[in-house]
Amino acid sequence: MKKWIVLTSTIIFWGLAFTAIKYSVKYLSPISVASLRFAIANVLFALLIIK
């Protein structure tokens, strides 16, 4: 059951990423969007490593 929850959440987050990029590029430059994505990913990975 846990595998299905992980799979479903991955699909949802993956799909939402494209929608978020589509709308965020309207208000920010592509470089800003990419930088923000990498900054968020770095924080999440750092929390994962520390844990």
pLDDT tens per residue, the chain (51 residues)?
899 999 999 999 899 988 988 899 899 999 999 999 899 999 999 999 997
Is 49 in contact with 37 (CB distance < 8 Å)? Answer: no
- Does pTM surpass 0.85? no
DSSP state, residue 8: H
